[in-house]
């Protein structure tokens, strides 16, 4: 079996190649933006992208790799650019990309449905394209050769024009590496009130994250700090959910937390069914009291 | 300018229950507009208003979505006309199959479109693939994660927000654009809009041919939940709660 890995980040390239090795005996890597890493696949393709071009314009190059290699399965790092590049190649092959595959059992793969409310087992009837995170595989080493082939750039007929790029500075801690994470939700009435959550974080040696609405509908928190099905997936020792209702889409991101602690004023909030310790109360009273008593 | 917005109708996940055998029970769940598609509808309506345009909604749905309330909800949000294809085989249609059906609706009813907007991802699968598949089927450019858009002649200039950078991209029209929820805040339709929606044109048709699916669903089951202690304290018991938290943090 041959697997083609389409990856963007350095970690993604290495992790997906290592994972691909567990389900395939031949691993080929294709990278559009930047040069591919060597030593992690049996063959790597450097799909050329001229400086200043939108990555999506390189779809013909990715298609050329697919056509040349005829892989049995394509593993895609789930980034927005790859969703387009991988999706376009899948469409040409008359296939659907199966998203966010969490585990493999031969041709049957499992992913989440309704934000974790259910797990769905499914099978692609034709060509197999999966977006997949490194966590779907057992930890393993990537092995390979130094062979790199370059695919020359062919512009699409209706190209996108990249007019400018602005870097967004990363804010906040890398929550995936924290033992204690404090999650703030819509129970906070004002942005300034988040200071309370930060104070608790400081007290317990944790870092602050949030539910999606705090990073999106209002811009109180940076987008890279929200937890859940479309955000971060964490496994801290302790997770504090403060003013978070406990919707599945959020809770999926912390199912692997050792202990879940909840503060919510509504005793019927779903969060309490998923918490180890909870307190039914106003967070504006509970948090200061908790900081004082800890 | 002619704008099309693709709207998925899904079961309201607040009312989907897990049965004893871990299968999902949809019997209490109403049909609603997939959450983030309301943002796409709003973006389409605003773009049409700013550019002297019209906006039609298209949807590939099960027959459950052929419901007056859902259709009125779509049409009360600044949409001029709705074209729906409803067939129960669409229940488990994959993104390839869904896009083929949507392409059929576009070809038949809105082939003179300039722009098709899609939402960020549906509430059930959140695949973010229908937009790409639809663009491939129509052979037009596609871009996703769009947080702002401006029409400039026969192009749209979009702001695309990725995790660590923001891109400004010029997209030649016609095109498919998938917008992030941040792009626009959905309006809350008032009584007047809802009444007016009842008078707007909408059509529901069956599926023309058999659905060509590429993915077979074998099983859908709720996962086993991580067992939790569920020790819940009242606000007055803050001392006991703090003690439990302190113990857990050790
Ligand atoms: C496709 C899709 C993907 C999504 N992905 C994610 C995701 O990845 N992550 C995510 O978080 N969400 C996600 N969501 C959104 C998710 O469904 C919920 O809407 C969101 O998690 C709710 O955030 P919340 O709990 O902060 O707010 P709410 O649900 O509004 O809950 C606020 C809670 O605060 C409590 N409260 C209010 N005031 C106080 C007070 N003074 N003291 C104590 N408690 C108080 C209330 O009782 C309530 O329970 C997604 C949704 C969709 C459709
Ligand atoms: C029980 C069940 C099982 C399913 N199993 C699978 C499966 O195994 N694999 C699979 O690929 N799909 C499956 N589907 C179908 C799936 O829900 C979608 O119709 C399809 O796959 C699109 O993916 P998505 O929902 O993630 O849409 P996304 O690609 O996330 O949607 C992006 C945007 O495209 C537009 N859009 C999407 N669908 C429609 C639509 N029907 N009508 C109008 N606009 C739309 C919306 O603007 C939406 O915001 C299943 C559905 C059900 C109910």
At residue B183, φ and ψ (nearest 5 deg) are: -60, -35
In a domain, B23, yes or no: yes
User: What mean pLDDT comes out for the span A28-34?
Assistant: 95
Residues B17-31 have a mean pLDDT of 82
pLDDT at A280: 98
Which domains, from first to last, does chain A contain? 2-151 (3.40.50.620), 175-293 (3.40.50.1220)
What is the CB < 6 Å shell around ligand 2?
A: A 96, 120, 122; B 6-8, 34, 36-37, 40, 58-60, 91-95, 98, 102, 118-119, 121-122, 124-131, 215, 217, 220
* Full-model pTM: 0.84
Cβ distance A164 to B16 less than 8 Å, yes or no, reads: no
B173 at the A interface (CB within 8 A)?
no
**Ligand 2 center from residue A52 Cα (angstroms):** 33
Cα A214 to Cα A221: distance, rounded to the nearest angstrom: 6
Question: Domains in chain B: how many in total?
Answer: 1
Question: Would you state the structure tokens that stand for residue B43, as one six-digit string?
Answer: 């973006």
Query: What is the domain range of residue B80?
Result: 2-223
Q: Does the beta carbon of A249 lie inside 6 Å of ligand 1?
A: yes
Selected residue with higher pLDDT from B164 and A84: A84
For residue B91, tell me if it sits in a domain. yes
Domain for residue B161, yes or no? yes
Q: Would you give the end-to-end CA distance of chain B in angstroms?
A: 62
Q: With CB atoms and an 8 Å threshold, state whether B133 touches A224.
A: no
Decide if B245 is inside a domain.
no
What is the domain-level CATH number for residue B17?
3.40.50.620
Task: Give the model's pLDDT for residue A63.
Answer: 98
Looking at residue B154, what is its pLDDT?
A: 94
Alpha-carbon span B119 to B144, nearest angstrom = 9
Give the lowest-confidence range in A222-231, B138-147, B166-175, B212-221: B212-221
Q: Do A83 and B215 touch (CB under 8 A)?
A: no
Domain for residue B134, yes or no? yes
Q: What is the pLDDT of residue B20?
A: 78
pLDDT for residue B124: 61
Average pLDDT, chain B: 92
Q: What is the pLDDT of residue A102?
A: 87
Hey, which residues does B60 pair with through a beta bridge?
Answer: B85
pLDDT of residue A115: 63
CA separation, residue B229 to residues A184, A246, B248 (Å): 22, 16, 12
pLDDT at A136: 83
User: Taking 80 as the threshold, does the pLDDT of residue A142 lie above it?
Assistant: yes
Query: What per-residue confidence (pLDDT) applies to B126?
Result: 66
pLDDT in tens, B81-139: 999 999 999 988 899 999 999 999 999 999 999 999 999 876 566 678 999 999 999 99
Residue of B nearest to A262 (CA): B232
**Cβ atoms of residues A19 and A132 within 8 Å:** yes
* Closest ligand to residue A230's CA: 1
pLDDT band at A134 (very low <50, low <70, confident <90, very high): confident
| Interval A35-61 mean pLDDT | 97
Q: What region, left, alpha or beta, does residue B232 occupy, with left being phi > 0 and alpha being psi -120 to 50 degrees?
A: beta
Asked if residue B230 is part of any domain, the answer here is no
Per-residue pLDDT, averaged over B149-173, amounts to 95
Is there a contact between A132 and A126 (Cβ–Cβ < 8 Å)? no
Q: Does B240 touch chain A (CB under 8 A)?
A: no
pLDDT value at residue A113: 73
Range from A253-267, A270-284, B100-114, B208-222 carrying the lowest mean pLDDT: B208-222
Per-residue model confidence as pLDDT tens digits over A149-185: 999 999 999 999 999 999 987 778 889 889 999 999 9
Residue of A6, A56, A60, A87 for testing the chain B interface, max B β-carbons within 10 Å: A87
Residue B215: pLDDT band with limits 50, 70, 90: confident
Q: Look at residue A116 and tell me whether its pLDDT is greater than 70.
A: no
Residue A217 reports pLDDT greater than 80: no
Asked whether residue B33 is assigned to any structural domain, the reply reads yes
Q: Which residues pair with B175 in a beta bridge?
A: B115
Q: Which residue out of A276, A289, A291 would a mutagenesis test of the B interface target, given it has the greatest number of B Cβ atoms within 10 Å?
A: A276
Q: Which residues of A touch B229 (CB under 8 A)?
A: 275-277
| Strand A277-280 versus strand B231-234 pairing type | parallel
Q: Which residue has the higher pLDDT, B139 or A116?
A: B139
B144 within a domain of the structure (yes/no): yes
Output the average pLDDT for chain A: 93
B213 and A125 within 8 Å at the Cβ level: the answer is: yes
Give the C-alpha separation, A248 to A118, whole Å.
10
Q: How far apart are CA A54 and CA B61, in angstroms?
A: 34
Q: Tell whether B91 is within 8 A of chain A (Cβ).
A: no
């Amino acid at each position: 079996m041959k697997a083609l890995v389409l990856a963007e980040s350095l970690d993604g390239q290495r992790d997906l190649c290592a994972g691909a090795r567990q389900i395939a005996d031949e691993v080929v890597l294709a990278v559009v933006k930047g040069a591919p890493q060597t030593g992690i696949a049996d063959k790597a393709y450097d799909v050329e992208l001229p400086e200043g071009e939108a990555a999506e314009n390189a779809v013909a190059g990715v298609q050329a790799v697919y056509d040349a290699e005829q892989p049995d399965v394509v593993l895609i790092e789930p980034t927005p650019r790859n969703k387009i590049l991988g999706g376009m190649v899948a469409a040409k092959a008359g296939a659907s990309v199966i998203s966010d595959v969490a585990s493999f059992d031969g041709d049957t793969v499992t992913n989440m449905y309704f934000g974790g409310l259910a797990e769905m087992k499914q099978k692609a009837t034709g060509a197999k394209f999966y977006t997949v995170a490194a966590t779907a595989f057992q930890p393993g080493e990537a092995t390979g050769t130094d062979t790199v082939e370059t695919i020359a750039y062919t512009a699409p007929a209706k190209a996108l024009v990249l007019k400018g790029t602005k870097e967004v500075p990363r804010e906040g801690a890398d929550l995936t590496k924290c033992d204690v994470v404090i999650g703030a939700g819509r129970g906070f009435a004002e942005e300034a009130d988040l200071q309370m959550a930060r104070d608790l974080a400081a007290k317990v040696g944790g870092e602050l994250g949030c539910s999606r609405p705090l990073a999106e509908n209002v811009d109180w928190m940076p987008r890279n700090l929200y937890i859940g099905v479309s955000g971060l997936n964490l496994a801290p020792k302790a997770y504090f959910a403060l003013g978070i209702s406990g919707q599945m889409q959020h809770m999926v991101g912390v199912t692997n937390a050792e202990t879940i602690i909840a503060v919510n004023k509504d005793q019927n909030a779903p969060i309490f069914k998923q918490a180890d310790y909870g307190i039914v109360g106003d967070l504006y009273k509970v948090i200061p009291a908790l900081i004082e008593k800890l | 300018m002619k704008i099309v917005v693709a709207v998925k109708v899904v079961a309201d996940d607040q009312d989907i229950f897990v049965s004893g055998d871990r299968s999902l029970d949809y019997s209490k769940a109403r049909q609603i507009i997939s959450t983030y598609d309301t943002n796409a509808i709003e973006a389409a309506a605003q773009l049409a208003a700013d550019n002297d345009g019209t906006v039609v909604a298209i949807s590939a749905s099960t027959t459950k979505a052929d419901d007056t309330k859902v259709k009125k909800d779509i049409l009360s949000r600044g949409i001029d006309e709705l074209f729906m294809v409803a067939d129960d085989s669409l229940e488990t249609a994959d993104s390839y199959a869904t896009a083929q059906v949507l392409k059929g609706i576009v070809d038949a009813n809105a082939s003179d479109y300039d722009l098709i907007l899609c939402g960020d991802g549906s509430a059930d699968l959140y695949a973010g693939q229908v937009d790409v598949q639809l663009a491939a089927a129509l052979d037009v450019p596609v871009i996703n994660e769009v947080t702002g858009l401006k029409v400039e002649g026969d192009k749209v200039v979009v702001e695309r927000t990725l995790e660590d950078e923001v891109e400004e991209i010029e997209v030649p029209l016609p095109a498919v654009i998938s917008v992030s929820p941040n792009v626009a805040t959905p309006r809350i339709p008032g009584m007047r809009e809802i009444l007016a929606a009842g008078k707007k044109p909408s059509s529901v048709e069956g599926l023309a041919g058999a659905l060509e699916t590429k993915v077979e669903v074998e099983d859908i089951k709720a996962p086993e939940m991580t067992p939790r202690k569920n020790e819940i304290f009242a606000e007055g018991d803050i001392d006991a709660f703090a003690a439990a938290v302190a113990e857990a943090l050790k």
